[in-house]
Amino acid sequence: MRHKVSVIGAGNVGATCAQYILENKLADVVLVDKVEGLPQGKALDMMAAGPSRGFDADIKGSNDYADTADSDIVVITAGLARQPGMSREDLLAKNVAIVKSVTEDVSKRSPKSIIIVVTNPLDVMSYLAWKISGFKSNKVIGMAGVLDSARFRCFLAKELKVSAGDIQAMVLGGHGDSMVPLARFCTVAGVPVTELLSKEKLDKIIERTKNAGAEVVAHLKTGSAYYSPAASVVEMVECILKDKKRLLPASAYLNGEYGLKDLYIGVPVILGASGVEKVLELPLTAEEKKLLGDSASVVSSNIKSLNL
């Protein structure tokens, strides 16, 4: 039987997710947006790319959540994106209302689904979707770490002039200025990157990774990144649908791991058919623990402001 993935929000990230899911032949897709005609038009256009791009999965555009019923995965991208000068936190107030209503609409129609949240501020929205859905916490996951580590890998690959595919990297913490890229756990085909680059060069790359989203926003001026965020979402979708049990960084619910409780934040997880199958606790240095703790405080205070 074919899998079904619903993507909510037919904007830049949502439509690109739909395109990658189809091109990777992972599932039939339902693309939903509140704007009439937008998901229908994009879906029709994408469907007509099938014969040339070699996919035959179905895509339907809709404004009606009934079409999302019995999805295996729901990806939530609905919401406002950043403009130049805005932080992800600036989006909080407006996106709370959107993510709340979308989660209510999808969770009752696909009670067995796994929800992947993309809307910013990511960790807070993931917590909100978990609370509103009433799902077990392993079934609601935020996408950020895969993207942050992909950015880290690309910048390292450029500096080292090696394939990004040979680089493994781990990024912890909230998706924002307080993220914690872990150079210590970063390798090029097994060789620690700390053996290959000076601390100065590594620090520069870490800084660029933290600001990579803002760098794109500054160029685009009217929105934020979408090719790489969508690619990261689809990496997670594939991992779940194929039960790959990969070790990836994602925003997951913590209940004591890393000494943190009752929040969503970026940590290494094993991702498989049932969602987050395990949160991995890495041995952190005192400095890394402090950075993760600082990042968690920012996320926790935003979660508290929701008064859930």
**Single residue of 26, 118, 241, 298 touching ligand A3D by CB under 6 A:** 118
C-alpha span between 79 and 306 (Å, rounded): 17
Q: Does 235 contact ligand A3D by CB under 6 A? A: no
Residues 192-221 that bind ligand A3D (CB under 6 A): none
Q: Does 295 contact ligand A3D by CB under 6 A? A: no
Which residue's structure tokens are 């947006």?
33
In terms of CB distance, is 27 or 214 closer to ligand A3D? 214
The structure tokens listed for 193 are 């990157």
Q: Does 248 contact ligand A3D by CB under 6 A? A: no
**Single residue of 3, 34, 184, 204 touching ligand A3D by CB under 6 A:** 34
Q: Does 122 contact ligand A3D by CB under 6 A? A: yes
Q: What is the smallest separation between the CB atom of 127 and ligand A3D, expressed in angstroms? A: 14
* CA distances from residue 106 to 74, 96, 135, 207 in whole angstroms, order as listed: 7, 15, 12, 37
Q: What is the smallest separation between the CB atom of 265 and ligand A3D, expressed in angstroms? A: 13
Look at residues 13, 290, 265 and name the one whose alpha carbon lies nearest to residue 142: 265
In terms of CB distance, is 89 or 160 closer to ligand A3D? 89
In terms of CB distance, is 188 or 224 closer to ligand A3D? 224
CB under 6 A: which stretch of 115-123, 155-163, 180-188, 235-243 binds ligand A3D? Answer: 115-123
In terms of CB distance, is 77 or 137 closer to ligand A3D? 77
Q: Which runs of consecutive H residues, i.e. helices, occur in the chain?
A: 12-23, 38-47, 50-53, 92-109, 122-133, 145-160, 199-210, 212-220, 227-241, 286-304
**Single residue of 74, 129, 147, 239 touching ligand A3D by CB under 6 A:** 147
Four-residue CA torsion sign, 185, 191, 192, 194: negative
In terms of CB distance, is 61 or 284 closer to ligand A3D? 61
12 and 29 in contact (C-beta within 8 Å)?
no
Q: Does 175 contact ligand A3D by CB under 6 A? A: yes
C-alpha span between 206 and 209 (Å, rounded): 5
Residues forming the active site = 175
Q: Does 174 contact ligand A3D by CB under 6 A? A: no
Which of left, alpha, beta for 189 (phi over 0: left; psi -120 to 50: alpha)?
left
In terms of CB distance, is 102 or 202 closer to ligand A3D? 102
Indicate the helix (H) or strand (E) that contains 11. none
Residues 49-88 that bind ligand A3D (CB under 6 A): 77-82
Q: Does 124 contact ligand A3D by CB under 6 A? A: no
In terms of CB distance, is 19 or 120 closer to ligand A3D? 120
Which of left, alpha, beta for 198 (phi over 0: left; psi -120 to 50: alpha)?
beta
The structure tokens listed for 158 are 């450029």
The C-alpha angle 104, 274, 95, rounded to 5 degrees, equals 30
Q: Does 4 contact ligand A3D by CB under 6 A? A: no
Q: Does 100 contact ligand A3D by CB under 6 A? A: no
209 and 183 in contact (C-beta within 8 Å)?
no
Q: Does 151 contact ligand A3D by CB under 6 A? A: no
Q: What are phi and psi of 257, to 5 degrees?
A: -60, 145
Q: Does 178 contact ligand A3D by CB under 6 A? A: no
Binding interface with ligand A3D (CB under 6 A):
8-14, 33-35, 38, 77-82, 91, 95, 98, 101-102, 118-120, 122, 143-144, 147, 175, 223-226, 229
